[in-house]
């Protein structure tokens, strides 16, 4: 099955799943309330957004300088930095470290970049025991699913479903109390932090000025992952750069506000190296893997370069009416929602993934909300243009050529309208069936009748 037919199939299933739509609406309705409250607390939210856009613009548009600065600072404090051009290389690098350490178990804190490179499969294939420590990620891992949402991985599940899952997979007692369920996961993971040979983290920001990785989280699982195992590996895309340490004074609260409607998440932690002389805990070795994986191709597209400013807050997913109705899994991508629809064609091929750019009403709610002002919905339009230029669909192009031909001949256009009006009654008996030429519309919607007297008829008569 092609990616587009898979998407269409999923979209059909999900949009008719009213229960799913209700769950997502409720969850996001609550999110909207707290988000708005946090936004309102800013002295000026729009100015803060502008500054955030400017700061990330600065980072992305001088990426080479900042990457070099970052790496020099990291290495000066004993961090081992690796560069990976693609996912295969990144997996290779990580597998090599793991093998060298003769590791058997890995504890991971949430990282979408590792989803992007399918790291868990590779590690498990190599015989390692891999455990996701973020509660939502832990849940979807137990279900052998990918994260539903880049910030809320398990938001599509109810407590009852999670309870059943825990009973089945962990043998826990029946309970559907969120607190008790959380404690079951806490207990299941507690020892894993201590016994894991390797910790793997992602990063929210990489600070060039001081050579640090900043991780935003609520549970403390990333803190533990970066504290207890002897070896820690942090995997991040090269675009995670921020120029200065104090840029975080803006980005930490913005990410929390847009990501989860919090003033600040519970833990925002900056790591500047492995255990330093005189320190008593923390990993002996810290590896940072910098991943390109087509990001430089997106960088080369000046028109859409701002998409690399993304801080993965998930806000555009949350406001997106497409996401809210088809859900995160229908996309079939690591990054879903508007940002996913924009960047996936760059990361995985325009031809295979252009349908995501078409699957949008271009309403612009994403662009309006994005804290770093990425021009998301216009990029969807540009992807459509690029796709049509690169490899036009013969039928669509012919349709539009005919359309343009008719539109440029007002008499013909008008004639067409009149003919259509004559034929419209004939459509009635087949309305919404396979025989109906307007089936895509009429299966769920009535078509308005063409007016007996068009505006232009009226206008002419009046003159």
Partner 1 sequence: MTEREKILARVRQALKTPAPLPGSHGKIHLPAAEQVRTSTAKQWLPFVGESFDERLALFAKNAAELKADFQLFNSADEMRAALTRLSETEKWQRVAGHSGGLTDAICATLGLPLLRTDRPYDVNDLESCDVGISECDALIAQTSSVLVTNRSAGGRALSVLPPHHVVLARREQLIADLPSAFELLKQKYAANYPSMISFITGPSRTGDIERILVLGAHGPKKLTILCF
Partner 2 sequence: MTVTLFIPCFIDALFPRAGISMVQILERLGHRVVVPEAITCCGQPPFNSGYWDEARAVAAKVLPQLANADAIVIGSGSCGAMLKVFYPQLFEKTPQAGLAKQISERTWEFSDFLVNKLGVTDLGANFPHKVTFHDGCHGLRELNLKKQPRALLANVKGLQLVEMSEAETCCGFGGTFSAKFPMISTAMGDVKCASATETSAEYIVSNDSSCLMHLQGLLSRQGNPLKTIHLAEVLNQK
Q: Which does 417 bind (CB under 5 to 8 A by kind): partner 1, partner 2, ligand SF4, none?
A: partner 2
Q: Which does 219 bind (CB under 5 to 8 A by kind): partner 1, partner 2, ligand SF4, none?
A: partner 1
Which residues are paired to 290 by β-bridges?
83, 236
Binder of ligand SF4 out of 71, 74, 200, 339 (CB under 6 A): 339
Q: Which does 315 bind (CB under 5 to 8 A by kind): partner 2, ligand SF4, partner 1, none?
A: ligand SF4
* Cβ 320 vs Cβ 366: under 8 Å: yes
**Quick one: which segment of 57-65, 140-148, 305-313, 410-418 binds partner 2 (CB under 8 A)?**
410-418
User: Quick one: which of 265, 269, 311 has its CA closest to 112?
Assistant: 311
Q: Does 371 bind ligand SF4 (CB under 6 A)?
A: yes
Eight-state DSSP code of residue 219 = S
Between 173 and 404, name the residue whose CB sits nearer to partner 2: 404
Smallest separation, CB 310 to ligand SF4 (Å): 3
Q: Does 392 bind partner 2 (CB under 8 A)?
A: yes
Q: Does 458 bind partner 2 (CB under 8 A)?
A: yes
**Number of helices and strands in the chain (H, E):** 23, 10
Neighbours of 297 (CB within 10 A): 11
Q: Which residues contact 21 (CB under 8 A, 6 or more apart)?
A: 14, 15, 324, 325
Degrees (nearest 5) of the Cα angle 166, 267, 277? 110
DSSP string, 128-145: -EEEE-SHHHHHHHHTT-
Cα separations (Å) of 301 from 306, 354, 379, 383?
9, 16, 11, 11
* Cβ 174 vs Cβ 228: under 8 Å: no
Eight-state DSSP code of residue 303 = G
Q: Which of residues 220-259 bind partner 1 (CB under 8 A)?
A: 220-221, 223-224, 226-228, 238, 245-250, 252-253
x-marked contacts with partner 1 along 418-447 as a string, rule CB under 8 A: ------------------------------
Q: Does 205 bind partner 1 (CB under 8 A)?
A: no
Q: Does 314 bind ligand SF4 (CB under 6 A)?
A: yes
Q: Which does 326 bind (CB under 5 to 8 A by kind): ligand SF4, partner 1, partner 2, none?
A: partner 2
Q: Contacts by 352-355 with C-beta closer than 8 Å and gap 24+?
A: 352/2, 352/3, 352/4, 353/3, 354/383, 354/384, 354/387, 355/3, 355/4, 355/7, 355/8
- Reading the block at residue 42, the tokens are 């800013």
Smallest separation, CB 440 to ligand SF4 (Å): 29
Q: Does 67 bind ligand SF4 (CB under 6 A)?
A: no
Task: Report the length, in residues, of the chain.
Answer: 463
Q: Does 184 bind ligand SF4 (CB under 6 A)?
A: no
Binder of partner 2 out of 50, 85, 361, 433 (CB under 8 A): 361
Q: Which does 314 bind (CB under 5 to 8 A by kind): ligand SF4, partner 2, partner 1, none?
A: ligand SF4
Smallest separation, CB 283 to partner 1 (Å): 9
x-marked contacts with partner 1 along 36-55 as a string, rule CB under 8 A: -----xxxxx-xxxxx-xxx
Q: Residue 268: enclosing H or E segment and its boundaries?
A: strand 267-271
Tokens 């295969």 belong to 88
Q: Give me the residues that bind partner 2 (CB under 8 A), please.
A: 8, 11-12, 15-16, 21, 25, 321-322, 324-326, 358-365, 367-368, 381, 383-389, 392, 396-397, 400-401, 403-404, 406-408, 410, 413, 417, 440-441, 443-451, 453-460
């Amino acid at each position: 099955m092609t990616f587009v037919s898979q998407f269409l199939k999923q979209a059909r299933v999900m949009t008719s799943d009213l229960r799913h739509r209700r769950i997502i609406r409720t969850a996001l309705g609550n999110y909207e309330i707290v988000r708005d409250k946090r936004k309102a607390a800013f002295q000026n939210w729009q100015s803060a957004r502008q500054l955030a856009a400017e700061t990330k613009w600065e980072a992305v548009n001088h990426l080479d300088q900042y990457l070099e600065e970052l790496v020099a600072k990291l290495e000066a404090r004993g961090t081992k930095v690796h560069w990976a051009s693609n996912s295969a290389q990144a997996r290779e690098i990580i597998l090599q470290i793991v093998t060298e350490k003769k590791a058997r178990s890995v504890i991971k804190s949430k990282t979408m970049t590792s989803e992007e490179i399918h790291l868990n499969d590779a590690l498990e294939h190599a015989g390692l025991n891999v455990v996701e420590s973020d509660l939502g990620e832990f849940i979807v891992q137990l279900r052998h699913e990918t994260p539903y949402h880049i910030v809320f991985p398990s938001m599509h599940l109810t407590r009852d479903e999670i309870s059943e899952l825990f009973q089945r997979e962990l043998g826990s007692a029946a309970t559907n109390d969120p607190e008790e369920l959380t404690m079951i996961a806490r207990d299941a993971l507690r020892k894993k932090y201590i016994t894991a040979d390797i910790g793997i983290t992602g990063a929210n920001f990489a600070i060039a000025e001081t050579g640090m990785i900043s991780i935003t989280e609520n549970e403390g699982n990333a803190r533990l992952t970066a504290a207890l195992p002897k070896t820690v590996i942090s995997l991040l895309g090269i675009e995670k750069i921020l120029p200065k340490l104090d840029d975080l004074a803006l980005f930490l609260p913005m990410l929390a506000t847009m990501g989860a409607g919090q003033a600040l998440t519970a833990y925002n932690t900056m790591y500047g190296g492995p255990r330093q002389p005189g320190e008593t805990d923390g990993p002996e070795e810290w590896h940072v893997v910098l991943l390109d994986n087509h990001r430089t191709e997106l960088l080369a597209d000046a028109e859409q370069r701002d998409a690399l400013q993304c801080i993965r807050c998930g806000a555009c997913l949350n406001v997106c009416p497409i996401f809210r109705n088809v859900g995160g899994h229908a996309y079939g991508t690591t990054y879903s929602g508007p940002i996913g629809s924009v960047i996936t064609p760059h990361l995985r091929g325009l031809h295979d993934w252009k349908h995501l750019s078409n699957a949008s009403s271009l309403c612009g709610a994403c662009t309006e909300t994005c804290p770093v002002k990425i021009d998301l919905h216009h990029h969807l339009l540009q992807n459509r243009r690029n796709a049509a230029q690169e490899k036009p669909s013969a039928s669509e192009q012919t349709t539009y050529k005919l359309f343009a031909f008719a539109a440029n001949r007002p008499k013909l256009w008008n004639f067409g309208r009149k003919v259509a009006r004559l034929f419209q009654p004939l459509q009635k008996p087949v309305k919404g069936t396979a025989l109906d030429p307007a089936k895509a519309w009429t299966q769920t919607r009535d078509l308005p009748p063409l007016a007996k007297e068009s505006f232009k008829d009226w206008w002419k008569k009046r003159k």
